[in-house]
Amino acid sequence: MNLNKPPIVEMWVEFLFEPNPNGLVEPALEFIKGFGDQYQKVEIAREDTLEFRQYSPTELPKVVGRTTAISHFRASDVEGTRWLHLTPNHLVCNFLRLGERYPGFANLSQDAVEKLKKYVEQCQPVKIRHAAIHYVDVVDVPITGKNEIQLADYFTLGLDLPTDPFGNQLSYLIRTAVKPTDGTGLLEIQLQNESLAPGGAAFRFRLDWHKFCPYDGEIDPDKISADLKLAHESVMRSFRAVFTERTWKLFEPKD
Amino acid sequence: MAFAVPPPDYHLARPAVDAFGGYHGVKYRGALPTTFDVTRQVMSTIQCGKTTYHLRQPAQGYFTRTTDDSGGGEFLVEGLPRPITGTGRRPQEAHREWKRQFHATFQRLFVMRPFEMEDADRRVWTAIETMVDVERYRADQPLIVRQIGMVCRARPYPLAVKWEDGTKERVYLERMPGEFATYKAGQPFEAVIHRHPVTHKIMSVEYIKRISQMAIKTTESDDLWNSVPTSAALPDADWD
């Protein structure tokens, strides 16, 4: 599927684990530090839990204990195109397209699976719950003449209400989950409008695709890699099917 | 049914359901997890320098790319009109720029009366008021006063001051500039103080300086008053 103007702006590969019950912060920190040359910026989100106790009926309760837990590491490269998330049970590798070319699924998937191997080695999760791939596409539909379009001319996924008595649609958000016929995992799709594109020359729509590869067992990176490829191919078939010919031409397909 | 360009006073604010987790205390509960989406951010406050704007409910901001492939994009917040837009090559840059735009717009409109606003300003202010707890912002603004006082208790470090009007007040070193910790009892000083607008308690002290004496004495003020030339000192004369 070769497109001169692919609508993809973001993609991530996500792994959900049953975390190691003895899991400590140090291995996670070591894991992040191991990619220090690739991800120079690290952010840490903490969650504080306060314990209150009422000592006297006439006084306000007092704080008697405080525990702090790290809930989220987020690391990124200087350019802001590659990101790595780590929570107690998630490992997520993002790519954000900021002008440069999309490096392709194979490249990003391989990168994520390599990180998965290292994560398993260092953090030793009990098992994997699911792997998932997520795509974010942004589609700009040029505004011509009447300042309105028929969504059915551009998307096969939609809700079309009668003009009488509803009039025109001003905003749009539709979310659905489907079970593809090819036997792969669940696919969740969300289509919504955003503000008009800069300059007001186009309606802007955002499409989210979230494709699951469910597991409930030990972690086999080779199998996960193969399943991610199948999941990607399944999403690509749905991706083509959600657009009409008119929209497809906006992406300038190569023959 | 057609999908149409919305009118200028229509600013959609969808519920903020996705977040970079613990930063904002908003947890994703929906079916489509976008917690890890680096283009989206849920905000419960907007912080620009020392100014904090508390939102009535979490708002969702998002980074959206430019129409060409030159890179970069815009940061927008659902519910606020496009004039408040941050641009930048990276999401963080665009977000920072958005905060400056928001701060500048808020401060410009905050001091305006409704009749002073153009239609476009009024639309923007209505959207801001819907999103931001403006009353809380107003109540949070400190009273900034210059006061002269003297340390009246300092054992082992300054604990209380007596102000020029005779009132005494407990002071906490954490809210004072570092130099204040060296002041001894009896040391007069002047300070620029941020006080709570309702309780008038000290929130922070921005500036402090030793002075030679606390205030002018009565005899000195009388001498000063008497030294001012008056018409009595002028020679007798008339208009002719």
With H, G, I as helix, E, B as strand and everything else as coil, classify residue B157. coil
In a domain, A39, yes or no: yes
Identify the CATH number of the domain in which residue A119 sits.
Answer: 3.30.310
- A186/A88 same-domain check: no
* Sheet with strand A90-96: strands edge to edge: A41-53, A62-76, A82-86, A90-96, A8-18, A127-142, A202-217, A187-194, A173-178
Q: What was the pLDDT predicted at B23? A: 31
Q: Name the residue range of residue A101's domain.
A: 9-125
Mean pLDDT for A97-101 is: 83
pLDDT-based confidence at residue A34 (cuts at 50, 70, 90): very high
Q: What was the pLDDT predicted at A187? A: 93
According to DSSP, the β-strands at A202-217 and A127-142 are antiparallel
Q: What was the pLDDT predicted at B34? A: 43
With H, G, I as helix, E, B as strand and everything else as coil, classify residue A93. strand
In a domain, A154, yes or no: yes
Q: What was the pLDDT predicted at A197? A: 81
**In chain A, how many domains are there?**
2
Domains and CATH numbers, chain B: 21-138 (no CATH), 143-217 (2.40.50.140)
| A79 at B interface, C-beta within 8 A | yes
In a domain, A203, yes or no: yes
- A146/A186 same-domain check: yes
- A79/A135 same-domain check: no
| B74 at A interface, C-beta within 8 A | yes
- A67/A136 same-domain check: no
The one-digit pLDDT tens for each residue of chain B (240 residues) are: 788 887 776 766 665 544 333 333 333 333 333 478 888 888 889 999 989 999 998 888 999 877 666 667 889 998 888 889 999 988 889 999 999 999 999 999 999 999 999 999 999 999 999 999 999 999 888 999 999 999 999 989 999 999 988 899 999 999 999 999 999 999 999 999 999 988 899 999 999 999 987 666 778 878 888 888 888 878 888 887
Taking only Cα atoms into account, the Rg of chain A, rounded to an integer number of angstroms, comes to: 22
CB count in 10 Å sphere of residue A196: 16
Q: Do B91 and A85 touch (CB under 8 A)?
A: no
Nearest to B21 among A72, A175, A194 (CB): A72
- A144/A209 same-domain check: yes
Quote the ipTM score: 0.84
In a domain, A4, yes or no: no
- A149/A226 same-domain check: yes
Nearest to A80 among B21, B82, B91 (CB): B91
- A135/A253 same-domain check: yes
Domain endpoint, select from A125, A151, A176: A125
Lowest mean pLDDT among A76-80, A215-219, B92-96, B221-225: B221-225
Domain endpoint, select from A64, A97, A125: A125
- A144/A245 same-domain check: yes
- A57/A158 same-domain check: no
Nearest to A168 among B2, B23, B31 (CB): B2
Which stretch, A49-63, A176-190, B218-232, has highest mean pLDDT?
A176-190
Per-residue pLDDT tens for A131-180?
A: 999 999 999 999 887 888 889 999 998 888 888 999 888 888 888 899 99
- A244/A167 same-domain check: yes
Domain endpoint, select from A125, A143, A167: A125
- A136/A251 same-domain check: yes
Q: What was the pLDDT predicted at B15? A: 57
- A147/A81 same-domain check: no
